[in-house]
A and B are shown apart, each in its own frame.
Chain A
Amino acid sequence: MATGTPLISAKGLTCTFGHGKKKFTAVNKVNYVINDEEIITIVGESGSGKTTLAKMMLALQKPAAGELLFSGKAITDKHEHWRKVQAVFQDPFASFNQFFTVRSQLLACFNLFTEKYTVDQKELMIDKSLRSVNLDPDAVKEKYPFELSGGQMQRLLIARIFLIRPKILIADEPTSMIDACSRASILDLLLDLKKELKMCIIFITHDIGLAHYVSDRVFVMCKGEIVENDHPDKVIKDPQHPYTKKLLDDIPVLHKDWLRPAK
């Protein structure tokens, strides 16, 4: 990917909410380039604009100014865009409509496809996607979301990605609502998925540990701006921006003093 157009490029991207006195700039003249098959992590506290940045990439939020290009082209057809750019959300419980079964939630994805599939083909594809996230199709297909555990639902969200096979996946705090032990397995699942589909993953998180573990590059966001954009080792060992320094300082880790000298 040394030459050619980057997968995603943003120039002067800005997003504001409200009018007049209440006007609030969530993302302020941001520039970035994301390449094919990269894993990017956007780190920042709540209100830093990281979720808004992601929503613009997902075409769920219109930018107020600036340009956002995918393989050199602006978003024209949203339907086509969502074939290529998909998301896994933070709260698996809120991500599914509790009135529909797992099967119908996954069948809903076929709305995106221009190809026509027969009912049997669809069922086979659904089964396959469920198996690839270690869910037993016979056990979960007829269940309703509230009958599943948080970890299972998060897997279901990932099964959806297996089915759609996008080029870009935006994962908004994909592991913050599930417990520590299943957290690692969900991450591995996402990374396997990345290998299989050769996609680019953009993680959004406030968990620097996660960012360090998986990403090729880390963006640190503060007050609507990207203040750091570098390799994770560099960001963690040699942070440039004062905000990054404070952030790293405030995270409790085992081998460093925090609040008071370590025991």
Chain B
Amino acid sequence: MRQFTLLFKNPSFLISFVVFFGLVLVGLLFPIFVHGSPVDRLGCPFEAPTAHFLLGTNEEGQDMFVRLLFGLRSSLYVGLFAGTIATVLGVVIGLIGGYKGGLLDNVLTMLTNLFIVIPSLVVLILISNSLGPKGRSLEVVSIIIGATCWAWTARAVRAQAQSLKMRDHVNLAKLNGYGTTSIILMQILPYTLSYVFMAFIIQMATGILEEAAISMMGLGPYDSVTLGFILNNAQKAEALVNGDWWSFIPAAVLVTLLQYSLFVMNTSMETIFNPRLRKEE
């Protein structure tokens, strides 16, 4: 617990934490304050920002401010969903491989290495493309992202499990008659948690970025407005050439802000957690 109080005394962590959770709160709570639909035609195409349309309108006369809020919400949703899937997959595969060893570990390690060497974005593009536009809901996209990004977590967790299983408290748990599942959950997992938490944050950032990347290529979810989708629209409407800055800069800034806050959170956590890890060696 002392680590966490220290964490909140670290200014860079505090700032990034406030920025990220500020954005999460906005994504969650905006319907209370802002009414409007992201898809209804509310004004003329390409209106510049006014008091009524805070961030102007796009080529179809949709309210960009409302679209941005909805985009933020779905991007966060994808990040959380994909990040959770990737982290859970990575942790489960890493723990089982590292603790059990033997043939099972060899197979799992091979699988992990396979996913490390194959660029996940390429897999993502191929799967998204083959699913067709109607097959790509927000959830499906999240699952695909999650299923391709777990490998680094698995590798790191496996290494930790491998060294943790030699410890005497694991032997003691065996002598108490506990089985594999209980030992993995009670004796190994808690010691990897600080790492897993850091990995989860990075996975979340990856999820958001990958979704933005494939959406921008026009391979994103069909059923929601995401930040990537906004960027894709702006590109198709040649907003850059026309100088309609309001249709892409706010979305780009949001993606950057999300990425940056998550990465700063991760690195500042590392400085707090690592000396402790070193001491435990």
Chain A interface residues toward B at CB < 8 A = 58, 60, 78-79, 82, 86-87, 89-91, 94-97, 99-100, 108-109, 111-112
B177/A79 in contact, CB under 8 A? yes
Residue B130 lies at the interface, judged by CB distance under 8 Å to chain A: no
Nearest residue in A to B171 (C-beta to C-beta)?
A60
Q: Are B186 and A82 in contact (CB under 8 A)?
A: no
Nearest to A58 among chain B residues (CB) is B175
A91-B173 Cα distance, complex, nearest whole Å: 15
- Smallest CB–CB gap between A201 and chain B, Å? 16
Q: Is the CB of B167 within 8 A of A94?
A: yes
Contacting pair B174 A60 (CB below 8 A): yes
Contact residues in A for B168 (Cβ distance below 8 Å): 89-91, 94-95
Does A111 lie within 8 Å of B176, measured CB to CB?
A: yes
Assess the B176–A97 pair: CB atoms within 8 A. no
Contacting residues, chain B, for A60 (C-beta < 8 A): 171, 174-175
Contacts of A109 in B (CB 8 A): 176
> From DSSP, what is the main secondary structure of chain A's interface residues?
mixed
- 8 closest Cβ pairs, A-B complex: A89-B168, A95-B168, A99-B190, A94-B168, A112-B177, A97-B169, A79-B177, A108-B176
Q: In the complex, what residues of B have CB within 8 A of residue A90's CB?
A: 168
Q: A60-B171, A87-B171 are in contact. Are A97 and B187 (CB under 8 A)?
A: yes
Q: Does B18 interact with chain A (Cβ within 8 Å)?
A: no
16 contacts between A and B (CB under 8 A): A58-B175, A60-B174, A82-B174, A82-B175, A82-B177, A89-B168, A89-B171, A89-B172, A90-B168, A96-B172, A97-B186, A97-B190, A108-B176, A108-B178, A111-B176, A111-B178
Chain A residues near B176: list those with CB within 8 A.
Answer: 82, 108-109, 111-112
Measured as residues with beta carbon below 8 angstroms from the partner, the interface class of chain B is 10 to 19
Q: For chain B residues 157-191, which have a beta carbon within 8 Å of chain A?
A: 167-169, 171-178, 186-187, 190-191
CA distance A89 to B177 in the complex (A): 16
Interface residues of B in 216-241 (CB under 8 A from A): none
Query: Which residues of B are found within 8 Å of A78, using beta-carbon distances?
Result: 177
Provide the residues of chain B in CB contact with A91, threshold 8 Å.
168
Is the Cβ of B178 less than 8 Å from the Cβ of A94?
A: no
Known contacts A82-B177, A111-B177, A111-B178; decide if A95 and B190 are in contact (CB<8 Å).
no
A94-B173 Cα distance, complex, nearest whole Å: 12
A112 to B179, CA, bound (A): 11
Query: Which B residues lie within 8 Å of A87 (CB)?
Result: 171-172, 175
- Given the complex, which residues of B lie within 8 Å of A96, measured CB to CB? 169, 172
Contacts of A100 in B (CB 8 A): 186
Apart from A58-B175, A99-B190, 15 more pairs, CB < 8 Å: A60-B174, A78-B177, A82-B174, A86-B175, A87-B172, A90-B168, A91-B168, A95-B169, A96-B172, A99-B191, A108-B173, A108-B176, A111-B178, A112-B176, A112-B177
Q: Which of B173, B175, B190 has the most C-beta atoms of chain A within 10 angstroms of its own C-beta?
A: B175
